[in-house]
Structure 1
Amino acid sequence: MSWQQFFRDPIELQDGRVLRSLRDAGEFVQTLPKATLDRPEWQAAVQALLLVVDHDGDTLPARIGIVRALNASNPTKRRTRRKAARRVIR
């Protein structure tokens, strides 16, 4: 197991903190309230994080999981491809 792996692109949180490694992400997840951790997007993020750590794999799946979970609670960050395409066409 290697919690020391670094993300290629660090994850910037809204409060100014930066998650640079798998260890940073794991410690951040541990500070979340239980109600937040019970959400499906956070369950998927934690599962991806643990799989990457257990198998010493690429950190990208863990990064994607955490970013998606962070953005799931922020409706301004979520846009469907259709909405994005419409804005380009008009």
Structure 2
Amino acid sequence: MPWSTPFDEPIRLRGGARLTTLQHAADHVMKLPNDVQQQERWQIAVENLINAAEIGGGWLMFARIGMLRALNGDGEAT
């Protein structure tokens, strides 16, 4: 599945921006500070993005969920 594949529903960011594709999500993660990228929740999100791009199918949904959980801190204090 190409990195240009859109999510079923865009991921809304604070400030009004939206992540609409796997590539937008990957670019967003790459712009984060390295120490944030290394946090487990972001590593899981990236793993799901890669699986979606390489395998496709249900991984697209998991990638979206992983990004939402990472963005929301997965209930952890950030």
Q: Shorter-chain TM-score category?
A: 0.7 to 0.9
Residue equivalent to 2:18:
18
Residue 55 of structure 1 deviates from its aligned partner by 1.1
* Greater Rg by CA: 1
Deviations, residues 2-47 of structure 1 (Å, cap 9, x unaligned): 1011101100000211001111111111101101111100000000
With structure 2 as the length reference, what TM-score do the two structures score?
Answer: 0.87
- Tell me the distance in 1 between the aligned counterparts of 2:56 and 2:2: 6
Which 4+ runs in 1 deviate beyond 4 A?
none
Report the Cα distance in structure 1 between the residues aligned to 2:23 and 2:61, rounded to whole angstroms.
14
Counterpart secondary structure, 1:62: helix
Residues 1:64 and 2:65 aligned together = yes
Partner Cα distance (2:57, 2:10) in 1: 17
Aligned length: 76
- Structure 2: 5+ residue stretches without partners: none
Unaligned ranges ≥5, structure 1: 76-90
